[in-house]
Structure 1
Amino acid sequence: MSGINIKTVTAATVLSLAGVANAAVPDPLHIAGDYKCTGFDSHDGSFNGDLTFTLDDKASHFEKSFGAYTFKLIVDLGGEKATYSGYAAAQGQSLSMFFANDSLEAPTDQGTGIAVITHDQDSAGKYITTLHKSYYLPGYKGGGRGTESCIKTSTSH
């Protein structure tokens, strides 16, 4: 093999295949990732949280602009942390969401939400992805509602 070492070719092939196997599945709707959130709940007042959206590639159908996601929201409620897990169905940039408090002590702290994802440019031309959500919790403290705004900080999921 005129000047090419077979070990070098084999190593390069293995490394390139490993890169393909570990490559993240693209998210054409640009929803998956980490977000910083602020919001207001009708019972708990204002809150801050960290939200992570993860793509469910097998359930998504991007040819029809449909994305399926799971998510986790960790909220700071006056020094106490609450974790909510859920799932979302996206059609384009509109999301339908279901979520529930992961604590066994909070069985009625669950609800449904609607959200819109926007992609706006700042003055430097950088795109900023923001989730705008409204939600309803029918069983929580006699019924509640809230709003939330989350700004994407990374696309690592």
Structure 2
Amino acid sequence: MSGNFPKAVLNTLFVVAGITSAGSLLADTLVNDPLFIAGSYKCTGYDSHDGAFKGDLTFAVDDRVSNFAQGFGAYKFKLEVPLDGATATYSGIAAAQGHLLAMYFANDSQSAATDRGVGITVVSRDQDNKGQYSTTLHKSYYLPDYMGGGRGTETCVKIAGS
């Protein structure tokens, strides 16, 4: 066969090569967090004791124990909330199975030993009319010891590009 390939064959080869490259790039991105949870978020919520609040949330994948082939992700997170003129920082861990997150968190301040709790979060990933995706976390939480017990809700929207 000579070095002259039919144009249709060359076009097919270019398309396949392009798809393979794009698929490889997408796969590399998804390997780090195929559940799309890791990143930075802006949050709003309501706590039964503290009332309405806003905060900044950051999630990071714990690669050591995540098993994305089985739909399981392990994460560490930090939430910073302005409260009473200072910033309260809550650190925590989360286990994701598909679109559900189980979360444990605690106020990092030594003086807030009873400000800790558990939450359940539904993760939604939606596409807008421009084809852009966004991730939103819808959390309900329970604080068994904080001020005699409390609860709250929180919605966090992932910041584009994070």
Same fold (TM > 0.5): yes
Instruction: Give the counterpart of 1:66 among 72, 90, 99.
Output: 72
- Residues 7-156 of structure 1 correspond to what in structure 2 (within 5 A)? 26-154=32-160, 156=162
Q: Which moved more, 1:77-86 or 1:140-149?
A: 77-86
Contact 1:32 1:155 in 2 (8 A): no
Root mean square deviation of aligned Cα: 1.5
Q: Which amino acid aligns with 2:85?
A: G
Deviation of 1:107 after TM superposition, in Å, equals 0.2
SS in structure 2 of the partner of residue 105 of structure 1: helix
Contact 2:134 2:160 in 1 (8 A): no
Q: 1:74 to 1:58 in 2, by over 3 A?
A: same
**Corresponding residue for 1:6?**
none
Supply the distance in 2 between the matched residues of 1:155 and 1:88 (Cα, whole angstroms). 22
Q: Which amino acid aligns with 1:124?
A: K
Q: Percent identical across equivalent pairs?
A: 65
Deviation of 1:80 after TM superposition, in Å, equals 2.1
Q: How many residues align?
A: 134
Which consecutive unaligned segments of at least 5 residues does structure 1 have? 1-22
Supply the distance in 1 between the matched residues of 2:72 and 2:161 (Cα, whole angstroms). 18
Task: List per-residue Cα deviations over 1:34-67 (Å, max 9, x = no partner).
Answer: 0000000000000000000000011101111000
Supply the distance in 1 between the matched residues of 2:53 and 2:85 (Cα, whole angstroms). 10
What TM-score do the two structures reach when normalised by structure 1? 0.81
Task: List per-residue Cα deviations over 1:94-141 (Å, max 9, x = no partner).
Answer: 000000000000000000000011011123221111000000000000
Which consecutive unaligned segments of at least 5 residues does structure 2 have? 1-27
